Amino acid sequence: FPELLNTSCKKHKRPHSETVILYTLLPSFSLLTVSLNLLVIISISHFRQLHTSTNLLLLSLAVSDFLVGLLVMPFQILLAEPCWLLGDLACILCSFLPFITVPASIVNMVLISVDRYVAVCDPLHYTAKITPKRIRISVLLCWIYSVFYNFLFLFDNLKQPGRYNSCYGECVISVNGAVDLVISFIIPISSIIILYMRVFVVAVSQARSMRSHIAAVKLQRSVTVTVKKSELKAARTLGVVVAVFLMCYCPYYGISLAGYDLMMGSSINIFMFFLVILNSCLNPLIYAFFYPWFRKTVKLIVTLQILQPHSCQANVL
């Protein structure tokens, strides 16, 4: 804003490597994230065999990751610029999007951990406790919570957009870092770790029990063993999803926990943001590696076989 002289923000020249990452790598990841998560959404939504309680949670997570690729990534590229040209209200609205998707992803991870905990630790009552109706209600509450929490979190900024800017052309928002750290990181991450530690202990115990009694298993018990094996495999796969989630999100909140502030547009902030969006891109790749049904559904989608009559009833398991 040259006409504003000393009251305008001061632009700084970005290193060439950062410019390449910002305008080449991030848009590529945005397109890849949207494409891969769209495949997950279509797969679980279209094929009836995949309409299970666990997959409904994966669908909600895929929707969150899809919105990250479609809306959050492009706007974050603009927010990384040294000068903001779209006005104070647009600055708040662009910050609104990631504050919805990130809590939604975290709560979805907690729900997935609870689902696996009940499936492995209390398999006899799993179908009674974890029903599709309860999962749908939980997912709906998850998204309502994310929007409501985000609104409260940015309420002061919405009342008077631009109140925290020190010069024209800045995009600065004020958040209560301590509250966000506790509610969005410490409590849910602690819950996820505790639940999966319990799942791991029970899974190891069940695996040893199955190996020691496999020779004496009768026909009636063989069905139970098969069910246990499938549940343990699902727990292992979703455990990888949770582990990747922790690796991508922990550095950002770890810096906050250490007491450091991240400047918007700084190199470290861009790197932390890259880790977060990398998680949204990696989840579908994990499904492709561990879930044979995802590879089958992708083949049916890419070859347009889902357009055929009764394709939703295809055997993909």
- Give residue-wise pLDDT tens across range 52-91: 888 999 999 899 889 888 888 777 777 666 677 777 777 7
Average pLDDT, the chain: 77
Q: Can you give the pTM of this predicted structure?
A: 0.81
Q: Is residue 132 part of a domain?
A: yes
Q: Is residue 79 part of a domain?
A: yes
182-221 confidence digits (pLDDT tens): 887 788 888 888 888 888 777 777 666 666 655 555 444 4
Q: Is residue 307 part of a domain?
A: yes
Domain count, the chain: 1
243-274 confidence digits (pLDDT tens): 887 888 777 777 766 655 555 555 666 677 77
Q: Is residue 6 part of a domain?
A: no
According to DSSP, the residues that pair with 168 across neighbouring strands are 8
Q: Is residue 215 part of a domain?
A: yes
Q: Residue 271 sits in which domain range?
A: 15-313
Find out whether 53 and 136 touch, Cβ atoms under 8 Å: no
Torsion of CA 45, 50, 51, 52, to 10 degrees: -140
Q: Is residue 143 part of a domain?
A: yes
According to DSSP, the residues that pair with 8 across neighbouring strands are 168
Q: Is residue 97 part of a domain?
A: yes
Q: Is residue 230 part of a domain?
A: yes
Residue 85 belongs to a domain with what CATH number?
1.20.1070.10
